[in-house]
């Protein structure tokens, strides 16, 4: 049985990009694979979250995981900070990770461009910690969004480098996984790229957003002046909205508005109105399930403890073997 590993930073509520980029695959994988899904609270420290919010945000994401269908009996769902073995493996991997290759990582360059006053070592070594998250469980399949492809490539690099240095075949290569064999990149409402919390609240459609909030966000989404002639090419902003519609609307609805755009007769008000309606129909049952669980702290702590025990059983075994390979074990 292959092992699946994936996680998400607890920097707020889950949005549509999280759902289609990774979570949707989790639901199927838990029935056919050995799965470890973690809440990456260590990774979130690169942005210096309020200590009072750290645990609360982690439990909120845990509630969303469970409410949306993950079964803690079928898979390990745990907090990254509950598995100290990951931190030690991160240390070992960092000894063989080099400054130049880390500085060339696209996400690092983007982060320091956006936040030049917060260029910390955690950001630089983010791919090393991500590699440790995966390798600690010998993960071979990692269901993530398209923006994480380079990080996965580095996880393969670090695992293979460990194997070469210590003349072993201990770590297998992890690969990105999506059931459609195509990595999903969900666009944000700002029209500037993937859906991301770092782009602001208005860029994201959250699974807890109510109907009025959804409608307001979609109505304010960036568009253009409209096609100037039949069969005009879609602007990036309009293409983004059509990509969102493809996720939640019927094929007939998408085809209708695509034809309207091709005829240069599309009315963006009608288009956005339909998108908001379909988005609400998609999100409403998920929102209700999440809100019904998020306040049950006792249950969530119990689930986190179960996940901690499962993750520790796997992580402790890996670390004991790694230490022996390196020369620390007897």
Q: Which sequence positions are flagged as catalytic?
A: 111, 194, 197
Q: Rounded CA gap, 276 and 298, in Å?
A: 35
How confident is the model at residue 284, as a pLDDT? Answer: 96
Residues 71, 305 contacting (CB under 8 angstroms): no
User: What residue segments make up the domains of the chain, in order of their start?
Assistant: 3-176+296-326, 197-291
Q: Residue 44: what pLDDT? A: 85
Mean pLDDT of residues grouped by 10 in the chain (330 residues)? 88 85 83 94 84 88 93 95 96 94 82 80 88 96 77 93 97 83 79 78 91 95 90 92 95 96 95 97 95 92 96 97 90
Q: Which string of b and e fits 86-107 if b means at least 16 CB within 10 Å?
A: beebbebbbeebeeeebeebee
In CATH, the number for domain 3-176+296-326 is 3.40.50.620
pTM of the complete model: 0.82
pLDDT of 283 reads: 96
What local confidence, expressed as pLDDT, does residue 180 receive?
66
Angle at 78 between CA 21 and CA 247, to 5 degrees: 15
Return the pLDDT at 317: 97
The 3 state secondary structure assigned to the chain is: CCEEEEEECCCCCCEHHHHHHHHHHHHHHCCCCEEEEEECCCHHHHHCCCHHHHHHHHHHHHHHHHHCCCCCCCCEEEEHHHCHHHHHHHHHHHCCCCHHHHHCCHHHHHHHHHCCCCCCHHHHCHHHHHHHHHHCCCCCEECCCHHHHHHHHHHHHHHHHHHHHCCCCCCCCCEECCCCCCCCCCECCCCCCECCHHHCHHHCCECCCCHHHHHHHHHCCCCCCCCCCCCCCCCHHHHHHHHHHHHHCCHHHHHHHHHHHHCCCCCHHHHHHHHHHHHHHHHHHHHHHHHHHCCCHHHHHHHHHHHHHHHHHHHHHHHHHHHHHHCCCC
CATH superfamily of 197-291: Tyrosyl-Transfer RNA Synthetase (1.10.240.10)
Domains 3-176+296-326 and 197-291 share a fold: no
């Amino acid at each position: 049985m292959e092992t699946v590993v994936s996680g998400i930073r607890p920097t707020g509520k889950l949005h549509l990009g999280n759902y289609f980029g990774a979570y949707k695959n989790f639901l199927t994988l838990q029935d056919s694979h050995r799965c470890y899904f973690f809440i990456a609270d260590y990774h979130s420290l690169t942005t210096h979250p309020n200590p009072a919010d750290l645990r609360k945000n982690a439990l909120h994401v845990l509630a969303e995981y469970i409410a949306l269908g993950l079964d803690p009996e079928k898979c390990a769902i745990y907090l990254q900070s509950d598995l100290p073995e990951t931190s030690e493996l991160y240390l070992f991997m960092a000894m063989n990770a080099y400054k130049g290759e880390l500085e060339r990582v696209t996400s690092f360059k983007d982060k320091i461009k956006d936040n030049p006053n917060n260029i910390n070592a955690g950001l630089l070594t983010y791919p090393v910690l991500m590699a440790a998250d995966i390798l600690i469980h010998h993960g071979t399949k990692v269901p993530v969004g398209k923006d994480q492809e380079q990080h996965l490539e580095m996880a393969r690099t670090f695992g293979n480098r460990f194997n070469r240095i210590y003349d072993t075949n201990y770590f297998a290569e992890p690969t990105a996984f999506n059931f459609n064999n195509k990595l999903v990149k969900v666009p944000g409402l700002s029209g500037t790229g993937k859906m991301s919390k770092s782009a602001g609240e208005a860029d994201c459609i959250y699974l807890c957003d109510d109907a009025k909030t959804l409608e307001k966000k979609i109505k304010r989404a960036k568009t253009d002046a409209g096609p100037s002639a039949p069969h005009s090419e879609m602007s990036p902003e309009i293409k983004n909205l059509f990509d969102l519609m493809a996720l939640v609307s019927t094929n007939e609805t998408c085809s209708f508005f695509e034809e309207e755009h091709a005829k240069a007769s599309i009315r963006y008000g009608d288009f956005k109105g339909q998108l908001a309606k379909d988005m609400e129909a998609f999100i409403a049952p998920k929102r209700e399930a999440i809100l019904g669980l998020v306040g049950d702290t006792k249950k969530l702590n119990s689930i986190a403890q179960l996940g901690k025990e499962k993750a520790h059983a796997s992580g402790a075994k890996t670390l004991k073997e790694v230490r022996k390979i390196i020369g620390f074990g007897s």
